[in-house]
Each structure stands twice: as C-alpha cells, then as structure tokens.
Chain A
Amino acid sequence: MLLQLNNIFKWVQSGGQRVFLLKDINLEVEEGEFISIMGPSGSGKSTLLNVLGMLDAFDEGTYNFLDEPVHTLKEKHRSNLYKQYIGFVFQAYHLIDELTVYENLEMPLLYKKLKGSERKAMVADMLDRFNMVGKKDLFPTQLSGGQQQLVGVARALISKPKLILADEPTGNLNSKQGEEIMELFAQLNKEGVTIIQVTHSEQNASYGSRIINLLDGRRIGG
C-alpha cells in the first residue's frame, strides 16, 4: 500500500464557526493506481491533493505514507519524505521564468544535493525522453502552454517519484495539448508511477482507473 488516509478532517475558523474543507475522508491508494479526484469548485479537491502532497496540514485523522505516520512526523522529516517520493504538476505550470528549461529541470536535483555529472545525466535523459533537447536553452515564456506543462511534468518526474500529484494539469491547455499530457500520464502510469490528479473533465478522468468524487469536502458515491 502506498498511502492511507483515515478519517481526515480539515477546517478553518470563520466567524466563530468551523467551516469544513475536508470532512471524514478515508482513502487507500495502492502503488500503480491512476486516480482522478472530481467535484465542483470548492468541493475540496485541491485541498485534498495538498494534504496528500504533505504541503498542507490537517486537523484530525491519520495519514500513513509508505507505512510512515505522516501526522506524527516533524516538518523536516516530512519534507524529506515528499522530496523523495512525490512530484507535483500544477495547472499554471509554475515554472521559474528566470530559469531556462534545462535549469528548471535541474532545480529539484540541486535540492537533493546530487553531483553535477549526475544531474547532467538525469536532465539530459529527461530532455531526451520528452523530446525537448532543442528547447533546453529557452525560457518558459518562449514556449507554448503545452510545452510548458511538458516541462512541468518532466520536472515532477526527474527525481523519480513514486507518486505524481497533478492539480488540473490540463486546465490551461487546449484540448489537443491536454490529450497529449493525459497520454503521457497514462504512459507513466503503465511504467509504474502512481498518479493522482484533480480534474473537471470526464474525459481526463477516463484515463484513470478510479474516480473519487467530492462534494463540500466529503466523499460521495464509490
């Protein structure tokens, strides 16, 4: 089992009242799954994704990741955990505008304190795999949205994570570009990477093996 959420609650205080963002979420994810989280705006999809990615804390419940109890871990330990096992893909790509494609890809490796030669090999590998060798010296603003997201996915993959969390990865793309990204995800999934994506689109969700529906912070249906 890759991860397990038990009775997760998350709320904010608003005017003396608790507003629940997540309510009693239970979820088990096996390695190799491709899960889509769906639901209307404000239903808690992104929040859930952030909790899964350990970027956000929760108020109640337990979270085990690879049998490590995340809720009891210290910040440092937790960040080591996600640094090692999780890659993120964002709707707005979140590439650093001042860095080239190459440097954007290299960045996570720098933070893992890998050697220069090793980094070079890994970045080259990734560029090769995504057919971006010719674009490695371009800046993000010189790329189309689809290409930017490709870089975003490549960056998420470069440190060989077990799990990729994607927050509406195709939200800013046209349908053709979106399809390409989803194909890529399916391909990655086949290679054994676990993927959890937030999406609005039924079509995107169909690439996955399982759908989790949220409404007002609560799981509904299957």
Chain B
Amino acid sequence: MNRFAIITAAGPDRPGIVAGITRVLYETGCNIEDTSMTLLRGEFATMLIVRLPRRMDAEAIEARFDRVRKALGLSLLVKPLSVKEARRVPRPGGHPYILSVYGSDRPGIVYRVTTLLASRGINITDMNTRVIGPTGRPIYVMVLEVDIPRKVRIETLKTALRKLQKAVKVDVTLHPVESAQL
C-alpha cells in the first residue's frame, strides 16, 4: 500500500497558492513531510511529499484538487510513493562541490556540462541557471551543487572541465563545500 505521495504543482505566481494547496491537504488529512517551493520568473513551482490518510489513495487526493487547480491555473500532479521511496534520502556517498559555469549565452552549455558530469557518475543535487546581462549580450550563469563520488579524481575532473571551458567558451570554477560539524 502506498502511504505517501509527491505532489508537484506549478502556475502563475500570486498570493494564495500554498494556502490553496495546503487547505486541501489539511481537509483530507494528509500530513506534509518535506517540501520545496520556488519562484522562477513569474511562475511558482512546488514539490510536497505528503503522508496519505488511511482511507484515501493518491488518485482520490488528486480529485480533491480540481477546484483549486482551476481557480489558480495550476498544473498539479499527485504521484503515489511507497514507504521506501518516500523515506529514501540521497546517500551522502561522495563529497559536495559547487560548480559555477558562466559565459556568453549559446546553445549547449547546460547539455555539455551535465553530460560530462553524468559520464563520471557525478550526481547533481541542486542547480539553478539564470540569463543575466544586457539584452543584446546575454550572459548565462549556472550554479550546480554536485556530489562527487570518492572514486573520481578531482584533478582529472578539473582537466576535463578546462577542456570543456575552451570548447564551449565558458568560465568554470569547482570548489568543495566545506561543512563544519560543530
């Protein structure tokens, strides 16, 4: 039995989206576990992991969102999760690093960088990109937090990034995220 679900929703930003979604959750007896929400330009997007009430499955919950979905212009999905899926936390296998990439906007920056990372088994744990600068000369900025497996040699990775830097004409910096246990 799936006792959890992940709700993903996005729509034009305005006050009341979170209240609208969580009202349905409260009324149906869903318990909110972890959530992530953010604003991207004028679009608001959210992911919520919820524990489902005893007598309702993901589909039944989704039906209860019909009204709020229409009222707020949201695209909203409720996907069931097993206990195992819901409780799964990314294994802290490697070392956290921040990779920043920036340069003149051109096709393929994200694709080339992320393909290089994927080929080495490097997982992206957080990523944001922005187009900044004047309209005529846009600059693409990409900041990734990645988990670098222990078996990956940092020097080898840096060499590969330097090659990519030349090929794609971007500037790349990789630095470890120091985390102090206090």
Real complex partners, A and B? no
Residues of B within 8 A of A (CB): none
